[in-house]
Structure 1
Amino acid sequence: MFTEKEIQTAKDNGWVIVTGASDDLMEFEGALRDEGGCFDGGQVWFSKESVYNGEDDKEDFPNCIEALWCDKASKDEDGNVIPWTYKTDIPHETFMVYEDGEPYCCGIVFSVNDLQ
């Protein structure tokens, strides 16, 4: 989805890029490279270094992003449902990802400095 140069630019600037993959993953690129499971939507908890995998102490993962899968309220400017959208209290910006001309994801970008 992103070139290595774009990912390196995000990493160098302390930015984290979040997008959906398939119907079950939240991908983190840039200053944090990891992925979290969210089949049909759900919450992914993470720290500045990694995503909670269910085995570690959850208290070490204070940040959360909720993935919404095919939320009927999440539409692009043409009224098409966006398969992947996100909710979080982390300050962020959004961007659209299209696949074959159709909306695929409303991704987010945030600074690792805004994480707990």
Structure 2
Amino acid sequence: MEVAMTINEMAKRLHGREYGCEITQAEALQAKRSHLVVVFGYSDDNMELRGAIDDEIGCWGDTKVYVDGSKAYKMAAGECGSCRLYQKHVAMLPWIQALRGNDCFWYYQTSLPHAEFDVFEDGELYCRGIVCQLPQEGSNEQQG
């Protein structure tokens, strides 16, 4: 039986990877089984999510996505943060935000428990990724 991996263990394993080789399929599967999501940048306009969430989110600058189970959602342009749906549901969900950095191209903030790892491109820091612990289904954890 495979032992669950912690956010710190996964971040330590991924730290120092080269752009384009951030995570293997086996590591993504281990992250999924451990309820972890690995987040890192790709190109100048994508947030990559691997593990418990497997997705690619288009982002330009400061983009926030909301996590609901094994899905990540980005509010569409023109959606109102003061509408009832947002206030009753979306605003209560955990979130991950992609930001442009001064010392790297991408870095991330989140309301989830997380650990950071660095991705390099040709020896230069490209991205400061994160490994997040997702709430397990049925838990009463509230993030926000």
TM-score range, shorter chain: 0.7 to 0.9
Asked if the contact 2:106–2:126 (Cα under 8 Å) also holds between the matched residues in 1, the reply is yes
Answer yes or no: is 1:63 the counterpart of 2:119.
no
Larger radius of gyration: 2
- Note the alpha carbon deviations across 1:74-107, whole angstroms, 9 max, x for none: xxxxxxx111101122110000011111111111
Superposition RMSD in Å:
2.1
TM-score by length of 1: 0.78
Paired letter, 1:13: S
Structure 2 SS opposite 1:10: helix
Paired letter, 2:41: G
Instruction: Give the one of 26, 30, 39 matched to 1:18.
Output: 39
The separation in 1 between residues aligned to 2:113 and 2:51, in whole angstroms, is: 16
| Gap regions ≥5 residues in structure 2 | 1-20, 77-84
Asked if the contact 1:35–1:51 (Cα under 8 Å) also holds between the matched residues in 2, the reply is no
Q: CA deviation at 1:53?
A: 4.9
Q: CA deviation at 1:42?
A: 1.9
Asked if the contact 2:96–2:110 (Cα under 8 Å) also holds between the matched residues in 1, the reply is yes
The separation in 2 between residues aligned to 1:68 and 1:97, in whole angstroms, is: 15
Percent identity over the alignment?
Answer: 38
Q: How does 1:91-102 map to 2 (within 5 A)?
A: 91-102=113-124
| Gap regions ≥5 residues in structure 1 | 73-80
Q: How does 1:31-110 map to 2 (within 5 A)?
A: 31-54=52-75, 59=89, 62-69=93-100, 71-72=101-102, 81-110=103-132
Q: CA deviation at 1:18?
A: 0.5
The separation in 2 between residues aligned to 1:7 and 1:13, in whole angstroms, is: 10
Q: CA deviation at 1:35?
A: 2.0
Aligned length: 106
Asked if the contact 2:112–2:134 (Cα under 8 Å) also holds between the matched residues in 1, the reply is no
Structure 2 SS opposite 1:51: strand
Structure with more helix by fraction? 2
Asked if the contact 2:66–2:90 (Cα under 8 Å) also holds between the matched residues in 1, the reply is no
Highest RCO, 1 vs 2 (Cα 8 Å, sep ≥ 6): 2
